[in-house]
């Protein structure tokens, strides 16, 4: 009964909060399974000239995090401003997974429409129900061709209207696609790449020997082959962003538009996607504010996915004075490099696919990170595409003691109840300090913070503490 009343209250809060229209446009670009591992984030192999240019003209965040490394759940957080355990989108929306958000939720496109915006979707939505995540207009284009998506968005951008536009631009790249490439002996996934390429897109091919293998992955031929395919898919994203920006400039809307570029979570490899480790939660975040004079800012604030919606609403002049949103606007710190008070994030994961029940709750600050694996007696479940990944199978077939990155296969699959890491000393999260007597105070304090977070955000899984 309490849950029903609380969601009814949320609806009333949204319904009776006055909103005002703003004269500025908004473009929110969200890619699919992309880590901050391209040009402006330090990768000298993966060339992304358009994203690099956007970073030069805006603010690049070095410590931005998803709240869950799962597509539907993460996107629900982005579009509701609330953790998925509170909005009801616990996992995938499509097919038999059938998770969906509470019908009382008020989403970002709906709120912006109420504030006088034209809300427009192109590409991947992957949340339900449509009535909650409703856009005024839905454009059609191949989501694997971000250049075509940009071209399809032109009529919305150039339209003469007394309403500003909110364009939600969501490519399917660089998500995995289907099974491995059959005529390649290593069977790497194609990551949406096509032998004949895509219309309007320059195919950029990478040599597997040149890719940079992150520490959480095994440096094997199979992994390098898959990373090369991933790089190619990211290059396609970069070209789509470049075309979209050029259209904004051609229509003289570039200097009237807030542009946010981000992904839903980290790269689609075991050890990242679906996990609560940093490779899964870290996302790229580049923001170009049209009127802020300071450009090329590198910002160290710890930003969470729940902060995106309040920031967009703030820019639009539509942020409710009394808000149930879990995040806060970072609009005021875009010109700063080391803003104070942005030193902590939380993560909440429950499902990916319907068969993948493995709730995890996380608190992370600049030095320590605590993970609570609520279903720890269970083996860690695999998304179907990650289990089939050549990178994983190449190591898994060697047995439980084989090294996958810096963990053994057995350590990856069977996890402890709690994990505590000193991120500064151990950025790869491999030395669990939960039983270190020197860190008892740190551990207890982080456990208390985690419980407070769960209570504050109405997390149903807080009840699991009663069974300890």
Among 9, 40, 71, 223, the active-site one is 71
Domain extent listing, the chain: 2-343
Residue 14's pLDDT band (boundaries 50, 70, 90)? very low
Do residues 358 and 335 touch, judged by C-beta distance below 8 A? no
Instruction: Give residue 13's pLDDT.
Output: 46
| Paired residues of 221 in beta bridges | none
- Percent of the chain at pLDDT > 90 equals 91
**Taking the CA atoms of the chain, what radius of gyration do you get in angstroms?**
21
Please give the C-alpha separations between residue 50 and each of 122, 194, 237, 259, in angstroms, as whole numbers. 20, 22, 9, 13
CA distance linking residue 109 with residue 121, whole number of Å: 9
- Percent of the chain at pLDDT > 70 equals 95
Which of 4-8, 307-311, 350-354, 422-426 has the weakest average pLDDT? 4-8
What does the block give as tokens for 385? 């595409």
Instruction: Give residue 456's pLDDT.
Output: 97
Torsion, Cα of 40, 43, 46, 51 (10° steps): -10
**CB within 8 Å of 384: residues ≥ 6 apart:** 353
Residue 95's pLDDT band (boundaries 50, 70, 90)? confident
- pTM here is 0.94
6: pLDDT strictly greater than 60: no
Respond yes or no: is residue 71 known to be catalytic: yes
pLDDT in tens, 35-87: 999 999 999 999 999 999 999 999 999 999 999 999 999 999 999 999 999 99
Do residues 20 and 318 touch, judged by C-beta distance below 8 A? yes
pLDDT in tens, 255-300: 999 999 999 999 999 999 999 999 999 999 999 999 999 999 999 9
pLDDT in tens, 177-197: 988 898 999 999 999 999 999
Burial 129-143 (b: 16+ CB within 10 A, else e): eeebbebbeebebbb
CATH of segment(s) 2-343: 3.40.720.10
pLDDT in tens, 142-175: 999 999 999 999 999 999 999 999 999 999 999 9
For 170, phi then psi, to 5°, come to -130, 85
Strands (E), 268-351: 282-288, 297-304, 344-349
338: pLDDT strictly greater than 70: yes
Instruction: Give residue 344's pLDDT.
Output: 98
CA distance linking residue 408 with residue 23, whole number of Å: 54
Instruction: Give residue 172's pLDDT.
Output: 98
Instruction: Give residue 20's pLDDT.
Output: 43
Mean pLDDT of the chain: 94
Instruction: Give residue 5's pLDDT.
Output: 38
Do residues 273 and 69 touch, judged by C-beta distance below 8 A? yes
Instruction: Of 366, 332, 399, 298, give the one whose Cα is nearest residue 61.
Output: 298
């Amino acid at each position: 009964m309490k849950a029903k009343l609380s969601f009814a209250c949320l609806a009333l809060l949204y319904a009776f909060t006055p909103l005002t229209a703003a004269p500025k446009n908004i473009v929110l670009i969200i890619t699919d399974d992309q880590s901050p591992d391209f040009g402006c984030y330090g990768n000298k192999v993966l060339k992304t000239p358009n994203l690099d240019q956007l970073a030069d003209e805006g603010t690049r965040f070095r410590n931005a995090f998803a709240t869950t490394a799962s597509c539907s759940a993460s996107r629900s957080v982005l579009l509701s401003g609330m953790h998925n355990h509170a909005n009801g989108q616990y996992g995938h929306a499509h097919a038999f997974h059938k998770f969906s958000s509470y019908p009382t939720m008020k989403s970002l496109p709906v709120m912006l429409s109420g504030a006088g915006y034209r809300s427009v979707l192109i590409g991947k939505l992957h949340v339900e129900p449509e009535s909650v995540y409703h856009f005024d207009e839905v454009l059609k284009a191949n989501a694997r061709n971000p250049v075509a998506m940009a071209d399809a968005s032109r009529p919305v951008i150039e339209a003469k209207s007394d309403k500003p536009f909110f364009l939600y631009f969501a490519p399917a790249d660089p998500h995995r696609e289907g099974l491995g490439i059959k005529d390649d002996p290593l069977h790497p996934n194609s990551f949406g790449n096509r032998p004949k390429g895509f219309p309007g897109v320059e195919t950029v091919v990478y040599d597997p020997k040149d890719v940079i293998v992150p520490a959480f992955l095994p440096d094997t031929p199979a992994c390098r082959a898959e990373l090369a395919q991933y790089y190619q898919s990211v290059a396609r994203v970069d070209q789509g962003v470049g075309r979209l920006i050029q259209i904004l400039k051609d229509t003289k809307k570039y200097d009237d538009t807030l542009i946010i570029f981000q992904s839903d979570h980290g790269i689609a490899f075991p050890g990242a996607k679906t996990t609560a480790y940093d490779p899964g939660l870290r996302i790229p975040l580049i923001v170009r504010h049209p009127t802020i004079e300071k450009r090329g800012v590198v910002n160290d604030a710890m930003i969470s996915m729940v902060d995106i919606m309040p920031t967009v609403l703030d820019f639009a002049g539509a942020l409710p004075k009394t808000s149930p949103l879990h995040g806060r606007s970072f609009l005021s710190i875009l010109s700063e490099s080391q803003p104070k008070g942005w030193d902590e994030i939380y993560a909440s994961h429950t499902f990916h696919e319907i068969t993948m029940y493995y709730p995890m709750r996380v608190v992370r600050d600049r030095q320590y990170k605590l993970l609570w694996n609520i279903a720890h007696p269970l083996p860690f479940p695999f998304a179907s595409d990650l289990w089939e990944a050549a990178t994983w199978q190449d190591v898994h077939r060697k047995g439980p003691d084989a090294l996958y990155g810096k963990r053994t296969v057995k350590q990856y699959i069977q996890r402890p109840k709690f994990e505590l890491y000193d991120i500064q000393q151990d950025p790869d999260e491999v030395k669990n300090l939960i039983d270190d007597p020197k860190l008892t105070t740190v551990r207890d304090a982080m456990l208390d913070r985690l419980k407070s977070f769960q209570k504050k955000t109405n997390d149903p899984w807080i009840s699991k503490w009663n069974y300890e």
